[in-house]
């Protein structure tokens, strides 16, 4: 029987996941954490067969938590959970070592299958999301060359935030935002804000 850890900052989501998995024949014990730091601490005292990890966490992001966990526990099975179905984000977490991705809109339908698949040692991603990722990867612009922080900066700027607003949201200086923006343009081989906006739109960031 498997022991699971659900990491999500919304209690209602954690309860929903537990409810869906309550009849899963392979799941015996389910623990909860509201953020990445708490999850990491729990792992010091408990072995989990599978971690269901939300991407959008307060403090340490889900992607950073994923990388931190796998750095210390490289064989840990992790299923990423997100409100969004952005192909670039899905590709990023799968490349980082997640064994599956599921959107919150489909977890009632696919969660049990995802858990069973990953516990058996296989990767899970729905066919619809898999097709979206493959289509995205055929685009000219590849966002996977960006670091997690650069990706966050680009996403916020593409949503209409100013440099100062991005700096405040990410707790960094406006100068750092400007430097990140220049580096993003260099990596993505664009020279103008218009080209950057187009690339962000092409990759479904806006």
- For residues 124 and 99, what is the distance between their CA atoms, to the nearest angstrom? 6
Spatial CA neighbour of 110 closest among 84, 91, 129 = 129
Provide the token pair at 8.
Answer: 């999500």
What is residue 146's three-state secondary structure?
Answer: coil
d(Cα 128, Cα 139) in Å, to the nearest integer?
Answer: 17
Q: Which fold has domain 143-202?
A: Arc Repressor Mutant, subunit A (1.10.10)
28, 184, 192, 202 from 195: Cα distances, Å: 51, 12, 5, 10
Total-model pTM: 0.67
**Predicted confidence (pLDDT) per residue in 59-90, tens digit:** 888 989 999 999 999 999 999 998 877 777 78
Least confident of 9-13, 70-74, 136-140, 145-149: 136-140
Give the integer Cα–Cα distance in Å for 150 and 163. 13
| Cα within 13 Å of Cα(162), Cβ side | 3
Domains of the chain: which residue ranges?
2-137, 143-202
Q: Do domains 2-137 and 143-202 have the same CATH topology?
A: no
Instruction: Please give the CATH topology (third level) of the domain spanning 2-137.
Output: Rossmann fold (3.40.50)
What would the pLDDT profile of 5-42 be if each residue is shown by its tens digit?
A: 999 999 999 999 999 998 899 998 999 999 999 999 99
Pick 153 or 85 by higher pLDDT: 153
The CA distance from 1 to 105, in Å, is 27
**Which residue, among 180, 196, 198, 176, has the nearest Cα to 188 in the 3D structure?**
196
| Residue that wins the pLDDT comparison between 171 and 189 | 171
What gap in Å lies between CA 73 and CA 112, rounded to an integer? 24
Strand partners, 102: 81
pLDDT in tens, 91-114: 778 878 899 999 888 878 889 999
The rounded radius of gyration (Å) of the Cα atoms in the chain is 18
The Cβ-side half-sphere exposure at 83, using a 13 Å CA radius, reads 6
For residues 128-147, give the mean pLDDT. Answer: 64
Query: Of 82-86, 134-138, 141-145, where does mean pLDDT reach its minimum?
Result: 134-138
pLDDT, position 140? 47
Residue 54 has pLDDT above 90, yes or no: yes
> Which residue's structure tokens are 């959970």?
81
φ, ψ of residue 162 to 5 degrees: the values are: -80, 170
Paired tokens of 116: 């069973």
């Amino acid at each position: 029987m498997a022991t699971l850890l659900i990491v999500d900052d919304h209690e209602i989501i954690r309860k929903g996941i537990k409810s869906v998995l309550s009849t899963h024949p392979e799941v015996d014990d389910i623990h909860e954490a509201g953020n990445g730091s708490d999850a990491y601490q729990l792992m010091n005292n408990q072995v989990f067969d599978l971690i269901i990890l939300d991407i959008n966490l307060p403090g340490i992001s889900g992607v950073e938590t994923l990388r931190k966990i796998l750095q210390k526990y490289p064989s840990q099975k992790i299923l990423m959970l997100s409100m969004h179905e952005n192909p670039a984000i899905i590709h990023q977490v799968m490349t980082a070592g997640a064994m599956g991705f599921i959107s919150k809109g489909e977890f009632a339908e696919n969660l049990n299958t995802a858990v069973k698949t990953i516990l058996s040692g296989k990767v899970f991603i729905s066919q619809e999301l898999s097709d979206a990722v493959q289509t995205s990867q055929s685009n000219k612009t590849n966002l996977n060359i960006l670091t997690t922080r650069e990706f966050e900066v680009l996403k916020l700027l593409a949503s209409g935030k100013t440099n100062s607003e991005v700096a405040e949201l990410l707790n960094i200086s406006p100068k750092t935002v400007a430097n990140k923006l220049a580096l993003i343009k260099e990596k993505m081989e664009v020279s103008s804000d218009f080209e950057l906006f187009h690339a962000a739109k092409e990759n479904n960031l806006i």
